[in-house]
Amino acid sequence: MSETSKRLGKRPDRRRFLQGFAGATALAAAGVAPRGAAADSSDPAANPLYALMGDGEHDAFGQTFDQASRTIRMPKPTAPTLSPQTAEITQQAVKTYDDIVARGGWPLVPRVDELHLGMRHPGVVDLRQRLLVSGDLDPNAVGNDIYDSYVEAAVRRFQVRHGLTPDGILRPATLAAMNVPAATRRDQLKLNISRLKTLTTNLGPRYVVNNIPAARVEAIEHDVAVSRHTAVVGRPSRPSPDINSKIVEVNFNPFWTVPVSIIRKDLIPIMEKEPDYLTKNHIRIYDVRHNELQPSQINWYSEDAVHYTFKQDPGDFNSLGHIRINFPSPYGVYMHDTPEKDLFGGDYRYDSSGCCRVQNVRQLVYWLLDGTKGWPPEAIDQAIESGDQVNARLAKPVPLHWVYVTAWSASNGVVQFREDIYNRDGLGASALPAVTKL
């Protein structure tokens, strides 16, 4: 047994371990061909790992694999998070994970600072084994300690399935997700089934989903995600709520009326330290008679400010950007553009006060207003560029669902997991075990 294995604890012989998951019969059933041979077309249902493999039709990385690697598919980008079949398909994924757990789960990957293409490291052997068990790595590609193109492609696929930046590099966030035990992932799938059963009834042909843990918005039409957008949602201290509503209106170049909660938690403390903050950010103060006041007229060392209305002028500086999407709700939240585009670039996108910021929101608005007379894409562009406040009422309101789903299997059968950012799953942060650094 290697020193690495000794430190991580006694484990079964690696050859027997791999055979338990990827014997010749299972490979044939999964449609995984030997290197250089065409993939077999036999029924894949006999192999539980096949449920983790997706449809390669829209494989963003497929062109970089050889024939054997292409038997492991990337998630299909048009497969929606919510569809009428999601709960049933997720139930099938539970059976797959039951089987993985019964076989002993997957091994821990030793902690390293970073692994990437071309590196050689003893931990890559454990990494390959981990990725094989979850169906991310070609079964032909196990055994050595080189971080080759097979491993990089498998890490990319794993990252896509876990909502991480798919750069193919093993960094702490990816490693932490890999080392969540298989039993925890199985339990995560189980508890999300009841959510999915509630959420996937009477969806209709056209709707928008904001999955909060995924920080992602989808425009779905006839069970196809026709538009998908990275989002920024509420931080854990100010969570975004679950919502079932309908989008009724789009505001171009809107004013932003600052919610009382933000006045109390943010504006008052800022103004105590930075008296010219409101002026610099084009935020005006109005009393109940709509008379404009000056910041110097407010006692910022008291709760006085919460009795006034604060409105930010339209413009590039506006916190809502150039677009706000409105829908009835008791929470006073909405979906909108933002001047802070850099917020969309990270894996951790839980930074708002409850609203949902949407990347490339103009594309979503094109889809929402399709069919509304007078609002073709060029009219939308003109409204935005005019700088004037203009409202567009949807001819037919579009159903909207803000949901909290941390694990699911989409229509292409690829299982997805997201961080339980609001700790609503009840599985606990202790699911991330400590591992030994080599």
User: Could you give the residue numbers annotated as active site?
Assistant: 336, 355
Residue entry with tokens 């109005």: 286
Beta carbons of 399 and 207 less than 8 angstroms apart? yes
Q: What is the 3-state secondary structure (H, E, C) of the chain?
A: CCHHHHHHCCCCCHHHHHHHHHCHHHHHHHCCCCCCCCCCCCCHHHCHHHHHCCCHHHCCCHHHCCCCHHHCCCCCCCCCCCCCCHHHHHHHHHHHHHHHHHCCCCCCCCECCCECCCCECCHHHHHHHHHHHCCCCCHHHCCCCECCHHHHHHHHHHHHHCCCCCCCCECHHHHHHHCCCHHHHHHHHHHHHHHHHHHCCCCCCEEEEEECCCCEEEEEECCEEEEEEEEEEECCCCCCCCEEEEEEEEEECCCEECCHHHHHHHHHHHHHHCCCHHHHCCEEEECCCCCEECHHHCCCCCCHHHHCEEEECCCCCCCCCCEEEECCCCCCCCEECCCCHHHHHCCCCEEECCCEEECCHHHHHHHHCCCCCCCCHHHHHHHHHHCCCEEEEEEEEEEEEEECCCEEECCCCCEEECCCCCCCCCCCHHHCCCCCEC
